[in-house]
Amino acid sequence: MDKKKVLYVSQEITPYLPSTPMAALGQKLPQGIQGKGFEVRTFMPKYGCINERRNQLHEVIRLSGMNLIIDDTDHPLIIKVATLQPARMQVYFIDNDDYFQHHALSDLEIRQTPEDNDERVMFFVRGVVETVKKLRWDPAIVHCSGWITALAPMYLKRIYNDDPSFRSAKVVYSLFDDSFDGTLDPRFAEKLLMDQFDKKDIAAILSEPVDYIALNKLAIDYADGVVQASESIPPELREYAMASGKPFLDYPGVEDYTDAYAGFYNSL
């Protein structure tokens, strides 16, 4: 039997970004799971503040070159990769000039230019999925961490549900205390409808502005399992996840959590 394959889709990973609880988990969890015999692939956005030379990123030409259409506009998909030592774990980066800058900013684009976050989330998630398809690598688990990954469960369960790479995958969504201010673009739902979804798929966000809580609830709706990845998260989200009846992993702490995650994956 093949080793179980886990795809990590992460908002932040150290050492490419400054260490935060989310970024540290984005590095240590995949490494720990890989150390237990799982096969792992990891993806994150290529934010402008990531130094490509220092971190030895290089473009993967065979994976780049696709155009993703969002809001009736073509956006070229660029894939870069680096190897995280000492685990020799490959990290893939989703890049594009429209959503991720090629010069250092004082903060991440998701906070620096929030007006683009609705399309940035769509592009990032679709970029990951299309790249994994090109890799011909079929994950058993897709673990999404951070709100920039929140559309992944819905895309995988509605748009890519019959794709051979993903039709058997279980989707895990981690809840963090990393909220954003305000709401996404008022045309967010309209853009999703242009991207093959129907009104039934996005019924929960059709009539109200989409804020942090609504976006995370949408992820919970389509996930197969939910994790509380921060010690404290909005009570409304915890209650919503618990009420969904889906498998829920309570906060596993900041040390020795690999066994808890591996057991959770195996239970799905």
For the segment 113-130, what is each residue's pLDDT rounded down to a tens digit?
Answer: 999 999 999 999 999 999
- Asked if residue 265 has pLDDT above 80, the reply is yes
Residue-wise pLDDT for 146-168, tens only, equals: 999 999 999 999 999 999 999 99
pLDDT at 172: 98
Asked whether residue 104 carries a pLDDT value surpassing 90, the answer given is: no
247 and 224 in contact (C-beta within 8 Å)? yes
Residue range 229-245: mean pLDDT, rounded:
97
According to the model, what pLDDT value does residue 107 have? 86
Determine the pLDDT at residue 3.
58
**Mean of pLDDT values over 251-267:** 95
Q: How do the domains of the chain map onto residue ranges? A: 5-267
Mean pLDDT computed over 237-263: 96
Question: Is 5-267 a domain of CATH 3.40.50.2000?
Answer: yes
In 3D space, the residue among 229, 267, 260, 268 whose CA is nearest the CA of residue 36 turns out to be 260
Q: What pTM was estimated for this model as a whole?
A: 0.96
pLDDT at 86: 85
pLDDT for position 89: 93
Identify the band that residue 1 occupies on the pLDDT scale cut at 50, 70 and 90.
Answer: very low
What is the per-residue pLDDT across 82-92, written as a single tens digit (0 to 9) for each? 999 888 899 99
| pLDDT tens, residue by residue, 186-204 | 999 999 999 999 999 999 9
